[in-house]
Chains A and B, each alone.
Chain A
């Protein structure tokens, strides 16, 4: 059970990101967790609630995108989801395929209310 440590690291990361939006309020955080990350999403949600209880971050919504393991076929370049540890390409049957994702433990996005981008660091901003 290391999700408590992960939740604390997550809070640190969010607090660092928040410095970029001094005028805004972060309302939602998108998290990407791969099936090979070794992190249980329910345990992490539980720990997150414990970590932010009674803090300014309590209302923040944590949205977890659980990512399956993906491989890419060396022969036909198709990217596919690996199910039941079967890494052979489902299209052409090639058995030599390359790991293409599924070990993520990343902050994917923030949703910020009323913010003015602060400096050049605020990249990839899109209005919804």
Chain B
């Protein structure tokens, strides 16, 4: 009996594709953000507010994932940016292959930002690298402040937590300080932005974060080249 040591990722095929995607995004200076949350936390509304705040000439596109329906793509297309729906037909997460297919027919050199709206789920999407520059987790105050402790993987892997629906704080038993502390316990370096997409609060900070994050990516690339 021989034991053969390996250092192979179980998702090596996905990771290989994701690395190719990341390379393509970076080559074309496209900031790719992967938005992840439980169903109903407000990913689509955050994207609606984002698109309506952008200059109409901004070179931005959205891939939005759901198990069924084109509803989110319909909501997002109203703003005039290219939007494509990925319907997974039952799969609870997006994988790199779906992103590769979703990008067919789009010229990356015509984009500066790509948003991926993952399937609503705090668990499964955290395992799949999509080639994004940053994972962003959206948590709403209508959920529990202990979500970061219950679902550590996604909070650990996300650069930013967008805390949505803060206009509801007077009406829900949500301890926002505890929520932020919990997120930082899981991931000490996580950045946090409080917004209310419904009431259009805090969106300036979010838009500024996106701009700064793209700058950071371009500078990192300039330093390498």
A31-B10, A105-B9 known; A37 vs B149 contact (CB < 8 Å): no
Give the shortest distance, in Å, between A17 (CB) and chain B (any CB): 7
By CB atoms of chain A within 10 A, which of B3, B92, B126, B188 has the most? B3
> Which residues A23-82 have CB closer than 8 A to chain B?
24, 27, 31, 35-39
Query: Do A9 and B11 touch (CB < 8 A)?
Result: yes
By CB atoms of chain A within 10 A, which of B2, B3, B8, B154 has the most? B2
Instruction: Using CB atoms, name the residue of chain B closest to A104.
Output: B9
Give the shortest distance, in Å, between A123 (CB) and chain B (any CB): 7
Query: A100 at interface (Cβ–Cβ under 8 A)?
Result: no
A36 to B153, CA, bound (A): 5
A27 to B4, CA, bound (A): 12
Query: Do B10 and A6 touch (CB < 8 A)?
Result: yes
Query: B5 at interface (Cβ–Cβ under 8 A)?
Result: yes
Please name all residues of chain A whose beta carbon is closer than 8 Å to the beta carbon of B152 when the two chains form the complex. Answer: 35-36, 85
In this complex, the interface size class of chain B, counting residues with CB under 8 Å from chain A, is: 20 to 34
Query: B124 at interface (Cβ–Cβ under 8 A)?
Result: yes
Please name all residues of chain B whose beta carbon is closer than 8 Å to the beta carbon of A112 when the two chains form the complex. Answer: 1-4
Give the shortest distance, in Å, between B103 (CB) and chain A (any CB): 21
Query: B134 at interface (Cβ–Cβ under 8 A)?
Result: no
A87 to B190, CA, bound (A): 14
Give the shortest distance, in Å, between A9 (CB) and chain B (any CB): 5
By CB atoms of chain A within 10 A, which of B8, B10, B154 has the most? B10
Please name all residues of chain B whose beta carbon is closer than 8 Å to the beta carbon of A105 when the two chains form the complex. Answer: 9-11, 127
A70 to B124, CA, bound (A): 22
Contact of A128 among B3, B9, B11 (CB under 8 A): B3
A38-B124, A39-B127, A105-B127 known; A2 vs B92 contact (CB < 8 Å): yes
Q: List 19 A-B contacts (CB under 8 A).
A: A2-B127, A5-B93, A5-B95, A6-B11, A6-B127, A9-B11, A10-B10, A21-B4, A27-B1, A35-B152, A38-B127, A85-B152, A109-B3, A110-B4, A124-B4, A125-B4, A128-B1, A128-B2, A128-B3
